[in-house]
Structure 1
Amino acid sequence: MVAKLNYGIIGCGMMGQEHLRNIALLPDVAVAAIFEPDAGMRALAAEAVPSAKMVDSVEDVLAVAEVNCLLIASPNYLHLQQLETIARIRPLPVLVEKPLFTAPEDAPRLAALRAAYPAPIWVAMEYRYMPPVARMIEEAAEATGGIRMLTIREHRFPFLEKVGDWNRLNRNTGGTLVEKCCHFFDLMRHILKSDPVRIMASGGQSVNHLDEVYGGEKSDIWDNAYVIVDFASGARAMLELCMFAEGARYQEEISAVGPKGKIECLVPGPGRFWPEHLGEPPVAQVIVSPRDPKGPRVVEIPVDPTLLAAGDHNGSTFYQHQRFVRAARGEGEVEVAVKDGWWAVAMGLAAQQSALTGQVVDMTTQTYAPGAQN
């Protein structure tokens, strides 16, 4: 067992900074090395963790002897390449931000990595660990009698500005239904305990970033979509995404329904975006609505203010790191494995394919899905 974990951080932009704040809350954990090429973000990281060595490459992070686990929080299109570099030089336990990869042709490389990597790889699917979502998942089977329909609605703000505006182009992100929505496709599989068999979608760019141009390329990221997914279990799920709806009281609304009843959770967005003149931000809720006898039961799920202040994900980044640390020490299982992150991207790629072609996508025939690589 490793007594103390020393993270090496690869990429320390907006999300990386959130990771730093949450790692700082963990006992017997430190950040030993940081690689961040952007001067502004590098300065912020050095200020946040003055004891960390600021280095100039992934290879330099791996050369720091004290580093015994890794976090990848770089732009999406770099994740797989950086994992391959780590595998070649010094494979350590790694927490890698979503998405795992960004294009269908990357799937064979990911399959090779998964087969050979000797240490834990944990994919950062924070939404599983939001307290209201975790509570809903815990009670869903009893409340519904077996979920037959699952709906996830996210009404939120537009994409935030990232270093170098990398997230304004589909070729860098994998596309909105991969970049943003792989979280929700992961939740669907996790909640329903089944794999997808058919996906159909409609989506596009309707309001945001319409006139933005970066290096001669027009921004092409989508800002709204509907996605319907049929699962092998017979359950079905739907995603509704709107990224020009930041006026909503809650950012995520998730509902699960079965023969016995309905359970839902309501999750507020980042507190820093809540208007001060409206008073205190809303508190997350879980609502159980049985069919018989009727009578919805509402439970508020408050989150530790320290965790809310440490990031934009309702405390989930902290809880995710808690679990990753246990897995890295050999004290717990990897809860979000490569296969989970892979399926989430495959579902996003299929949804985008469906929206572009107007056709239903059969997941059992897609070469970029995990099953095709086994």
Structure 2
Amino acid sequence: MKVAIIGLGFRLGYLGQIFSQIDPNFEIVGYVDPAPAGMPRLLEAGIPAGRAYDTPEALIASESFDLLMIGSPNHLHLDHIRIGLEAGLTVFTEKPIVVSIEESFQLASLLNRYGHDRLLVGLVLRYSPLYRDLRKAQAEGLLGEVVSIEASEHIAPYHGAFFMRDWRRYSRYAGSFMLEKCCHDLDLYNGVVGARPRYVASFGGRKSFTPSNAPGNVGLNDLEVYHRKPSGWLGSDKVFDSDGDIIDYQTAIVEYESGASLTFHTNLNVPDEFRRFCVMGSKGMAEGDFVRGFMDVHDAHTSEKRISNRYQAPSTTSHHYGADEQMAADVLAHMTSGAALPVSALDAIEAGILALAMDEARQNRKVIDLAPVWERYDTCLHGSAPASQAKTA
């Protein structure tokens, strides 16, 4: 498969390596990025990145390829997606798919015009063995009707420090931390519930990565642990004195249209990190953790443990618990034979809208009713009105 890349950052540099391991014919024909942070990884793996171009339009006009891959900063996704769709291409974009409710409406209108199947999205956790087993247990009736979910994404201090130093520290580029990092998780639980979120409330802020928490006279910015993960575009050395506007902890509660509820918590300063869930249904309970690698399912009537699975990533260098390898294989199968994918652009938009609603609820200290948003989103998606007429609630 031949691909072209807009935004050759760390993420697509890694994915280029994974795709090349699975497909011996994988080839990057060219890229657009003034400072390609993912280039060293490709070169180290012996993968040519093709010719550099100044603009997406020049790249598309000059090269022939099967898939346009977008890894640019989040606030550029919509324009780059639009350029690809208007050129008649199949497009793969990294998450989050867009950075605002208004952009969600605009993208819905684009998908109405060009087709939902033309846009693939890198919500990679949908491909993880653990999540696939969760959905299999659900399909087999072991959980019954989903009643409530407790879930979290907690990341280690070195990773939290990365967000405080990287371009993602600015919500004008990333959207928000909840959108940038946790849209994966919100998408998973939207999928499990099988209904759209209706009401959203949230609280949070920044209490760990603040100047008062710098250790002694050493200065936190001098400590190696907080620079373990390199930053790229607009990178900074500042950690606890970051000029970013993102949070470092947040809690949200959600009620879905089905009546099911979700509690979700994220924190960027968790020394023994975990990424867990507990799905409680009318017939059973599924509890799991992506980081610690397990999923157990218990019967609600007998308390019998029906499933006890343990998971391990395929290698020590594998990201996302082995999900990247499966995503690459599935995307290749989709491109060559039309095989179905477990996640769609519409799933990504809906997860993004939920994340953005959580931030609106947090900032304004109110419960958000998403019904008007879904109504306008559907209007754009089905072509009854232009996106410019759709406004947020």
Tell me which amino acid in the other structure corresponds to 2:145. G
Deviation at 1:12, TM superposition (A): 2.1
Equivalent position of 1:264 in the other structure: 287
Output the CA distance in 2 between the equivalents of 1:59 and 1:226. Answer: 42
Deviation at 1:288, TM superposition (A): 1.3
Tell me which amino acid in the other structure corresponds to 1:208. F
CA offsets 1:247-301 (integer angstroms, 9 cap, x no match): 23xx211111112221111221xxxxxxxxxxxxx5x111112233224356343
Normalised by the size of structure 1, how large is the TM-score?
Answer: 0.85
Equivalent position of 1:224 in the other structure: 249
CA offsets 1:50-75 (integer angstroms, 9 cap, x no match): 43313123234323534111211121
Structure 2, unaligned stretches of length 5 or more? 213-220, 222-234, 382-393
Q: Structure 1 residues 48, 116: closer, same or farther in 2, change over 3 A?
A: farther
Normalised by the size of structure 2, how large is the TM-score?
Answer: 0.81
Deviation at 1:363, TM superposition (A): 0.5
Equivalent position of 1:354 in the other structure: 361
Q: Structure 1 residues 132, 50: closer, same or farther in 2, change over 3 A?
A: closer
Equivalent position of 1:78 in the other structure: 76
Output the CA distance in 1 between the equivalents of 2:364 and 2:134. Answer: 35
Q: Structure 1 residues 367, 230: closer, same or farther in 2, change over 3 A?
A: closer
Equivalent position of 2:322 in the other structure: 315
Q: Structure 1 residues 257, 164: closer, same or farther in 2, change over 3 A?
A: closer
Equivalent position of 1:156 in the other structure: 155
Output the CA distance in 2 between the equivalents of 1:257 and 1:197. Answer: 19
Equivalent position of 2:169 in the other structure: 168
One of 335, 342, 348 as aligned partner of 1:341: 348
One of 209, 231, 246 as aligned partner of 2:271: 246
Tell me which amino acid in the other structure corresponds to 1:288. V
Tell me which amino acid in the other structure corresponds to 1:168. R
Tell me which amino acid in the other structure corresponds to 2:52. V
Equivalent position of 1:288 in the other structure: 297
Output the CA distance in 2 between the equivalents of 1:26 and 1:364. Answer: 43
Output the CA distance in 1 between the equivalents of 2:375 and 2:163. Answer: 28
Contact 1:151/1:238 (CA < 8 Å) preserved in 2? yes
Output the CA distance in 1 between the equivalents of 2:36 and 2:336. Answer: 33
Q: Structure 1 residues 305, 130: closer, same or farther in 2, change over 3 A?
A: same
Q: Structure 1 residues 370, 16: closer, same or farther in 2, change over 3 A?
A: same
Structure 1, unaligned stretches of length 5 or more? 269-281
Contact 1:122/1:335 (CA < 8 Å) preserved in 2? no
Contact 1:13/1:162 (CA < 8 Å) preserved in 2? no
Deviation at 1:13, TM superposition (A): 1.7
CA offsets 1:6-61 (integer angstroms, 9 cap, x no match): 11122222211221121112234333323332155434434435433131232343
Equivalent position of 1:201 in the other structure: 202
Output the CA distance in 2 between the equivalents of 1:144 and 1:22. Answer: 34
Equivalent position of 1:94 in the other structure: 91
Q: Structure 1 residues 210, 181: closer, same or farther in 2, change over 3 A?
A: farther
Deviation at 1:335, TM superposition (A): 3.5
Q: Structure 1 residues 344, 369: closer, same or farther in 2, change over 3 A?
A: farther
Output the CA distance in 2 between the equivalents of 1:369 and 1:262. Answer: 35
Deviates more, 1:120-129 or 1:108-117: 108-117
Q: Structure 1 residues 372, 66: closer, same or farther in 2, change over 3 A?
A: closer
Output the CA distance in 2 between the equivalents of 1:176 and 1:262. Answer: 29
